[in-house]
Structure 1
Amino acid sequence: MHNPYRDRDAQALWQLVKEEADAAAFAELHARFSAKLYALAFRKTGDSDVSEDLVQDLFVTLWVQKETLTIDKAIQVYLFSALKNRIISHFRKQLLHNSVSLDEVYPEALVTHSANVVQDWIQLREVQEVYLRELQGLPEKSREVFELSRSGLTNREIAEQLGLAEKTIEFHISKCLRVLRVKLLYMVGLVSALWLFP
């Protein structure tokens, strides 16, 4: 049987969820993005159970708060941003309550040891603030392309969605990465920037 929701873009699905509490539209959003969200969570945590819990919590919250939640960006951009915030919160709770070492909770072995591991993770929040501020300073089209690329879409999918050539998409992404890397590496250092540019 044909699923009519598969032909709708993500933003239209979100509007159906928000305005009509459409469970089928919500299920389609979940089917469309849950695997990519899980992949991101697992890459950052290295724990399948934690990754599943974080993604499940994200979608439960999305459904429960659908009527009051205001999303000013593309729904896929919101989902990946919200998941990254949950991952940071997960690590912070581990650090504060379990006194585990930084390399235990951050499996990507590119982190320098610090005398204050809690401060290292608090700095991640500061990096995000710098990142968002610099992102807003980019040209509108470049910013749109870059945000879609961070949401898990391929360059081809972005090109089709925006009606642009794939080479143009690659140019915008490369330009944004170059500008943001320079700004972040200068302002907060290499270690913190690794989170945003894995």
Structure 2
Amino acid sequence: MSPINHDVDVELFIRLQQDDHAAYTEIYGKYSRLLYTHAYKKVGDRELARDLVQDLFTTLWLKRHEIIIKTAPSAYLYTALRNRVLDHVAHQNIASNYVSYLENYTLETNDLTDHLIRHKQLMQLIEQEIAALPEKMRQIFELSRKEHLSHKEIAAELGISEQTVRKQIQNALKIMRPKLSVILALIFLFEK
């Protein structure tokens, strides 16, 4: 692997912003493995690390005209990846806090019926969000989360690539996370 040359990187990012796909490919080739290793060390999950890096590079291409780099391009990429890792951890913490809250609530009160009603309402809201996904995305998401199939098994069952499966699940989570975060936040506010 060649050492990082900031002048070359700056030139690559300038070309990227001018819609040069070869520059994008070169940036990807130069940084994807390094970023994956960094993400894996932070999250400890190979598939999640791959998803985070893939999301970073997808966004890099889609928002290439909006990118303003005030530091070295490599620092920009690592910061963008760090933000994705932190977002993931924050979402995990919200879900984990809610589960802990439900467990404690059940232990601290005798009103199990109220707990079950709220749990059922939350599950209905989650199901509504899943049902609102585009059909193919919903099908893939349900096979992953409800049937617990691996990306490889889903790809084989639907006759599509594992990359497509991974991207569809990633997009589904991207659509659902903001909505579910708001729902969970409201539940915390009104139950205290």
Structure 2 length-normalised TM: 0.46
Structure of greater Rg: 2
